[in-house]
Amino acid sequence: MPVTLLWLKRDLRVEDHAALAAAARAADEAAPVLPLYVIEPELWAEPDRSGRHWDFLRESLQEARVAFAALGVPLVVRIGSVLEIFQALADTIGVAAIHAHEETGSGWTFARDDQVRAWARDRGIPLREHRQFGVLRGLKDRDGWAAHWERMMGAPKAEAPAVLPPLPGEIDPGTIPDRPPGLSADAPCPGRQPGGRAAGLDLLGSFLSRRGARYHQEMSSPLTAQQACSRLSAHLAYGTLSMREIVQAVRVERRRLADAPPAARGLWPAALNALDGRLHWHCHFIQKLESAPEIEWRNMHPGFDGMREDAFDAERFKAWTEGRTGFPMVDACMRMLVETGWINFRMRAMLTSFAAYHLWLHWREPALHLARLFTDYEPGIHYSQMQMQSGTTGVNTPRIYNPVKQGWDHDPDARFIRRWVPELARLEDPKLAHEPWRAPNAAPDYPAPIVDLTEAARFARSEIARVRRSDGYREAAGAIQRRLGSRRSGLKQTGGAKERAAAARRAATRDQMSFDL
């Protein structure tokens, strides 16, 4: 008896699951639904994968297995190549059709999905890929993209079936290993947030009822962001919650507040508006990678090719990864990230900016290091942001964050620094904790600054400016903006040159909004 395969990837839930709903509608007793998750050793051997990713996914997979059991079918887990496992199923029980969500992932997953499409096409097996985010496959330009996003987020959620037809015979569900084959040993993450849908729903509920009241005011400081941000980004990355259910929950609460007395609203309307906007920008950035997969490894603007690549300093990179640069705010953020798997957006931007400008490191290796550290690693957001904060997009104004100023702005009492850099914990004077080089004997175990902050920033500005003045730079930047840039600023392919240039500048400014979730 053939089966209808439900190929699960980063969509570990049964609620608002378009692929599951479609498979259930199409399947019958002659071709029941078989939910399948494949642990791919080659994927876990990729340089952007880490143990914290697997641990979050494993917990989510275990919980999803319970959810599918409640529908009357096992969530089958296999280890190996997707193509080989699909072929084995086709040879033994038969595959009538495959349903899956579209995935905008790394170059490896892009290639894997192309191979699966070719395999299914060659065997006459229908493969249906369903949208999960507000990302449009095959998009030619960004005009009208925001309207498409709104229509998808406003549509009714996909309804989960009450029960699924039983599968033929006895199918071994397979085991979920403690570690996937292919994954290298890496640093533990004792402070990692737990995976699974229940944890995601708890976060959504606590944000909308308590934690999010000052979200828009407290997202920038690492002292407050850990509680004030929604912390839903990892659940979106692994699909334990859907984007649509989060957007709709936020908007339901916003409508409820609109009917409440002004005194009862407090800061909530502004906080919910801020989150709603960042949910939109989440998909906006993923659309960039969907439309231009090469930005995972290639400068978005070709004018920057060769600017940093040959100047890579391995010792500087090592100090940055270990949180021993001699700049307390940088080191505190890196150490927190290593231990917890999360840091807020402003500090992510600062870490990247410091690596790219002050240490003059080409963004690719720092991108892989941060990808391994972020539990919520989402390739579509990650590589766009790495290039934006490194100044290689060609459409964004370079931002060189001063790490000392960022420390004073967001940790004025140096509480965060002293918590994560114990070598400075005994320095009660915030000035010394922020700038320990003022009294080097006070913190003998802490390294001296790895670079001269002023000189490094001056050099970076001059090099970036040199490229931006080069022949053909503006024309290439305009093409990038038309292909990948936001249209929410009113950018259209009409009007005079001045109007188009002004619209492009507004769009690029909007693109630099943070998207703390």
Give, rounded to a whole angstrom, the gap between the first and last alpha carbons of the chain: 45
pLDDT at 325: 98
Q: CA 346 from chain center: how many Å?
A: 14
Contact residues for 306 (Cβ-Cβ < 8 A; gap 6+):
none
pLDDT at 187: 87
Contact residues for 360 (Cβ-Cβ < 8 A; gap 6+):
308, 311, 313, 316, 456, 459, 460
DSSP 415-472: HHHHHH-GGGTT--SHHHHH-GGGSGGG-TTSPPPSS-HHHHHHHHHHHHHHHHTSTT
Indicate the pairing of strand 76-79 with strand 3-8: unpaired
Q: Are 20 and 26 in contact (CB under 8 A)?
A: no
**Running DSSP on this structure, what letter comes out for residue 356?**
I
pLDDT at 514: 42
CA torsion sign for 298, 301, 306, 312 is negative
Indicate the pairing of strand 95-101 with strand 127-130: parallel
Backbone angles phi, psi at 341, to 5 degrees: 80, 10
Query: Using CA atoms, how far apart are residues 369 and 155, in angstroms rounded to an integer?
Result: 38
Backbone angles phi, psi at 64, to 5 degrees: -65, -35
Query: Using CA atoms, how far apart are residues 8 and 96, in angstroms rounded to an integer?
Result: 17
Nearest by Cα to 33 from 116, 109, 128: 128
**Running DSSP on this structure, what letter comes out for residue 510?**
H
Query: Using CA atoms, how far apart are residues 504 and 490, in angstroms rounded to an integer?
Result: 9
Residue 90, SS3 per DSSP: helix
pLDDT at 488: 56
CA atoms within 13 A on the CB side of 458: 5
Query: Using CA atoms, how far apart are residues 214 and 437, in angstroms rounded to an integer?
Result: 35
Backbone angles phi, psi at 204, to 5 degrees: -60, -45
- Give residue for tokens 């410091």: 354
pLDDT at 504: 43
- Give residue for tokens 């920057």: 304
CA torsion sign for 379, 12, 22, 95 is positive
Query: Using CA atoms, how far apart are residues 297 and 386, in angstroms rounded to an integer?
Result: 11
pLDDT at 333: 98
Q: CA 106 from chain center: how many Å?
A: 12
pLDDT at 367: 98
Question: Two tokens at 65?
Answer: 């297995």
Contact residues for 343 (Cβ-Cβ < 8 A; gap 6+):
222, 333, 336, 337, 351
Question: Which segments of 180-228 does DSSP mark as H helices, in order?
Answer: 197-209, 215-218, 225-228
Burial class (CB in 10 A: 0-12, 13-18, 19+), 367: buried
pLDDT at 172: 95
CA torsion sign for 39, 24, 110, 195 is negative
Residue 183, SS3 per DSSP: coil
pLDDT at 485: 85
**Amino acid identity for residue 131 in this structure:** R
Query: Using CA atoms, how far apart are residues 166 and 71, in angstroms rounded to an integer?
Result: 9
Nearest by Cα to 108 from 157, 33, 49: 49
pLDDT values of the chain reduced to their tens digit, one per residue, 517 residues: 899 999 999 999 999 999 999 999 988 777 999 999 999 999 999 999 999 999 999 999 999 999 999 999 999 999 999 999 999 999 999 999 999 999 999 999 999 999 999 999 999 999 999 999 999 999 988 889 999 999 999 999 999 999 999 998 889 999 999 999 999 999 899 999 999 999 999 999 999 999 999 999 999 999 999 999 999 999 999 999 999 999 999 999 999 999 999 999 999 999 999 999 999 999 999 999 999 999 999 999 999 999 999 999 999 999 999 999 999 999 999 999 999 999 999 999 999 999 999 999 999 999 999 999 999 999 999 999 999 999 999 998 899 999 999 999 999 999 999 999 999 999 999 999 999 999 989 999 999 999 999 999 999 999 999 999 999 999 999 999 988 987 654 334 334 445 444 444 444 444 443 445 7
How many Cβ atoms sit within 10 Å of the Cβ of residue 2? 17
